[in-house]
Amino acid sequence: MIEAKMLYKNFGASVAVNDVSFTIPDGQITGVLGRPGCGKSTIANILAGYTASSGGSVSINGYDIERHPRRAKAAIGYLPANNPIYYDMTVREYLDFLSRLHRLPRRQVPGRIAWVSDIMGISEYLPHLILNLDRGVIRRIGIAGALINDPPILLLDQPTAGLSPADTREIREILKSLRQDRTMVIFSSYLAEVLELCQHVLVLNGGKLIANDSIANLRALAGDKNRLKLSLHATLDQLRRILSSMESVEDVSAQPGLEEGALDVILESGVDTDLRPQVWAACARENIPILEMKYLNVSLEEIFLQLTGKIQGGD
Ligand SMILES: Nc1ncnc2c1ncn2[C@@H]1O[C@H](COP(=O)(O)OP(=O)(O)OP(=O)(O)O)[C@@H](O)[C@H]1O
């Protein structure tokens, strides 16, 4: 479990993290989401014990990161942003070097290197110089390095940033396969990545924590149905006729509109169904003027933008 209390970090006059508190329980993947510059890497560095906070505290499985750094860090594997790595080593030399840093017993090292290489799909590259490998493989080596001490907690800062779609997919699939066994925190600017991998999300903006919720709750806020609002110049009989040709409509409500002769209608459908083309076609067939048509749903992107825009605009 990770507990951060009232974290604060400034670089001179600039405040990177401002009074951030959260608890990350064991056994789930948590996303830390926010736009570039919102403080994600600073928090990642503080949790990993790479950077001291200017205020507040962090405990990792009950050990304070500043008072008991060795015990706290033993529970953590960390992939920093930009994947700093020694390019002039072979993959095996690099993983061996990290094993020494973690003080793994020497007899365990070959087995451990074989284990992480197998998980990360890099076994064939072990004898290769890292500088000759492509970006996706180098990122996988970085994650292998974070896993080398078999930590119960994995912190991954932008694990797929700057990678091709194919490399991104490959790494996300590997991360999904890892989530059974450990607590993971993924720092990301990509909403889609957090939605795909995480059960819980912390949203940062301007160094402040502005949301701390389950992905399920955010999805519920966005709605699990598409709700299309129409204003039609039509009678109820005409509405019934157009609806009879639209099988994807799951629910309908209608009431007289403000304009004379207008009907305000709300049509519900599954989230994957866009009713608008069907509405256009059916209304055209019946010669029904469409006065207005818009979705009432709030998308997850909009929720995210509203959350992050709120602070930027007004704080
Ligand atoms: N070493 C530093 N010295 C001065 N300012 C810094 C330092 N590190 C970070 N900052 C500033 O702190 C703020 C937060 O930076 P941070 O790297 O934590 O954001 P981020 O959300 O990780 O961004 P990105 O997604 O671009 O990596 C930014 O304004 C950044 O310029």
Q: What is the pLDDT of residues 21-73, one digit of tens each?
A: 999 999 899 999 988 899 999 999 999 999 999 999 999 999 999 999 999 99
Separation CA 233–CA 287 (nearest Å) = 10
Residue 301 lies in a domain: no
Ligand 1 centroid to residue 46 C-alpha, Å = 12
Q: Hey, how many other C-beta atoms are within 10 angstroms of the C-beta on 244?
A: 10
**Do 185 and 236 lie in a common domain?**
no
Q: Considering only CA atoms, which of 219, 147, 137, 135 is closest in space to residue 184?
A: 147
Ligand 1 centroid to residue 132 C-alpha, Å = 30
Looking up residue 240, the CATH number of its domain turns out to be: 3.30.70.260
* Nearest residue (CA) to ligand 1, atom 13: 16
* Nearest residue (CA) to ligand 1, atom 24: 36
More confident residue, 93 or 303: 93
Q: How many folded domains does the chain comprise?
A: 2
* Nearest residue (CA) to ligand 1, atom 12: 16
Atom of ligand 1 nearest to the CA of 17: 14
Residue 29 lies in a domain: yes
Ligand 1 centroid to residue 41 C-alpha, Å = 7
Tell me the whole-structure pTM to 2 decimals: 0.78
Q: Which ipTM did the prediction report?
A: 0.95
Looking up residue 58, the CATH number of its domain turns out to be: 3.40.50.300
**Do 126 and 198 lie in a common domain?**
yes
Separation CA 205–CA 314 (nearest Å) = 12
Cβ contact 206:199 at 8 Å: no
Strand order in the sheet with 262-270: 251-256, 262-270, 225-233, 290-295
**Do 192 and 259 lie in a common domain?**
no
**Do 128 and 258 lie in a common domain?**
no
Strand order in the sheet with 14-24: 14-24, 2-11, 55-60, 63-64
Separation CA 33–CA 21 (nearest Å) = 15
Ligand 1 centroid to residue 285 C-alpha, Å = 57
**Do 138 and 277 lie in a common domain?**
no
**Do 192 and 241 lie in a common domain?**
no
Average pLDDT over residues 283-288: 93
Supply the range of the domain harboring residue 248: 225-295
**Do 199 and 249 lie in a common domain?**
no
Ligand 1 centroid to residue 213 C-alpha, Å = 24
**Do 99 and 239 lie in a common domain?**
no
Residue 309 lies in a domain: no
Separation CA 67–CA 71 (nearest Å) = 9
pLDDT at 222: 67
**Do 217 and 256 lie in a common domain?**
no
**Do 290 and 209 lie in a common domain?**
no
* 87: helix, strand or coil: coil
**Do 43 and 176 lie in a common domain?**
yes
**Do 210 and 103 lie in a common domain?**
yes
Residue 310 lies in a domain: no
Bridge pairing between strands 2-11 and 14-24: antiparallel
Cβ contact 190:204 at 8 Å: no
Separation CA 30–CA 218 (nearest Å) = 14
Cβ contact 129:88 at 8 Å: yes
The domain boundary residue, chosen from 174, 204, 221: 221
pLDDT of 312 strictly over 60: no
Q: Considering only CA atoms, which of 27, 38, 71, 17 is closest in space to residue 199?
A: 27
* Nearest residue (CA) to ligand 1, atom 31: 37
Ligand 1 centroid to residue 47 C-alpha, Å = 15
Q: Considering only CA atoms, which of 114, 197, 183, 190 is closest in space to residue 148?
A: 114
Read off φ and ψ for residue 63, nearest 5 degrees. -100, 125
Separation CA 168–CA 161 (nearest Å) = 8
pLDDT of 211 strictly over 60: yes
The domain boundary residue, chosen from 195, 221, 247: 221
Residue 306 lies in a domain: no
Bridge pairing between strands 76-79 and 153-157: parallel
Cβ contact 225:250 at 8 Å: yes
Residue 314: which pLDDT band, with cuts at 50, 70 and 90? very low
Q: H-helix or E-strand containing 127?
A: none
Which residues have any ligand 1 atom within 6 Å of their CB? 11, 14, 16, 34, 36-42, 81, 189
pLDDT at 21: 97
Atom of ligand 1 nearest to the CA of 43: 18
Ligand 1 centroid to residue 148 C-alpha, Å = 27
* Nearest residue (CA) to ligand 1, atom 26: 36
Percent of the chain scoring above 90 in pLDDT: 74
Q: Considering only CA atoms, which of 17, 12, 2 is closest in space to residue 209?
A: 17
Residue 66 lies in a domain: yes
pLDDT of 303 strictly over 50: yes
Residue 12 lies in a domain: yes
Q: For residue 9, give the DSSP letter.
A: E
Residue 116 lies in a domain: yes
pLDDT at 308: 72
Encoded tokens for 63: 């050990």
Label residue 158 left, alpha or beta by phi (over 0 means left) and psi (-120 to 50 means alpha). Answer: left
- Angle, helices 91-101 vs 135-147, to 10°: value is 30
